[in-house]
Amino acid sequence: MALTWSLPETDPWSTPFAQLLMHQLELNPGDVVLDIAAGGGIPAFHMAEQVGAQGSVLAVDIHQAQVLRAKSIQGRHMPWLQFEVGDMRFLPETLPRFDRITGNLSFMFFRPNRFEALKSLVRFLKPGGQIVLTFPSLGTFDSLWVCVDEEMKRGNLEKERKALAEYIEERPSANHAKQWLEELDFERVEVIEWPLEILTGPGREFLEHPLLRGGFLDDIYECFEDQNLAHEFMDDLSQDIGRFTPLLAQRCAMSGFLPDQK
């Protein structure tokens, strides 16, 4: 029986964003695709199946462990799918040009100079080619940030409040993404957002939630110089999650096409 490489239903984070990416991506058999920050292969495996043996997918990730894991899953299947270790911000000039450039949950890692990183990436896109990048946009978990700010204010944690505000301000918005694509002369620019509710319970379930902890709750801890105070603050916060639930992430996809004339 032939294997199929659909998006895994069991992944609670990468798959919902990949669904949005595939919704925006105009993928054809034979397309040559560059997938940046490819992680464990969501959605690189699925895209490789779509382009078929006449096309190719180069999936790049900075973490060797992720690449090795993806290769072990792939085995000898779909040899036109290639996983390689690489930094999406410093890709070699020897790379070919691609019909499509994608990145699932990648744009968040372009910090601090997201526009420059995007501009550098576009060099590898063929005229008429499409880029689609997904990321959690400004507005993600706003209810949590409001609650954290209120608690910091109540505790006279002004230095920590300032650090939190700087973190939130740095998160890219859908408007930023649209503006940057238009500045790079993309056509058919479209930026959409789909909400995604993250379910959790109180206490340790909230504090150790794999999606919330990675890249979100950790940023709150980093606002504190005194980590003992940070743990005390977060332990108190976690006891009454009703103050900030439901927790909604904003799945954002930015899409555009380079003009054929370029």
Task: Give residue for tokens 């894991």.
Answer: 69
Q: For the purposes of burial, counting CB atoms within 10 Å of the CB of 260, is it exposed (0-12), middle (13-18) or buried (19 or more)? A: exposed
CA distance 5 to 43: 9
Give the other-Cβ count within 10 Å of 254's Cβ.
Answer: 26
For residues 9-34, average pLDDT? 95
CA distance 252 to 180: 14
Query: With the C-alpha atoms ordered 199, 204, 210, 212, is the resulting torsion angle positive or negative?
Result: positive
Instruction: Give whichever of 22-36, 103-117, 215-229 has the largest mean pLDDT.
Output: 22-36
pLDDT at residue 35, as a whole number:
98
For residues 188-209, average pLDDT? 96
Spell out the domains of the chain, with CATH numbers in brackets: 14-137+172-197+249-257 (3.40.50.150), 142-168+201-244 (no CATH)
Q: Which helix (H) or strand (E) holds 206?
A: helix 204-207
With CA atoms as reference, report the closest residue to 235 among 109, 119, 151: 151
pLDDT at 245 over 70: yes
What share of the chain has pLDDT > 90, as a percent?
83
pLDDT at residue 2, as a whole number:
47
The pLDDT confidence band at residue 257, using thresholds 50, 70 and 90, is very high
What are the pLDDT digits (tens) for 64-117? 999 999 999 999 999 999 999 998 888 998 999 999 999 999 887 787 788 999
What are the pLDDT digits (tens) for 127-147? 999 999 999 999 999 999 999
Alpha helices, DSSP H, located in 76-199:
114-122, 142-154, 158-170, 174-183
Task: Identify whether the C-beta of residue 193 lies closer than 8 Å to the C-beta of residue 142.
Answer: no
Task: Give residue for tokens 């319970």.
Answer: 201
Residue 154 CB-half CA count within 13 A: 9
For residues 51-70, average pLDDT? 96
pLDDT at 203 over 80: yes
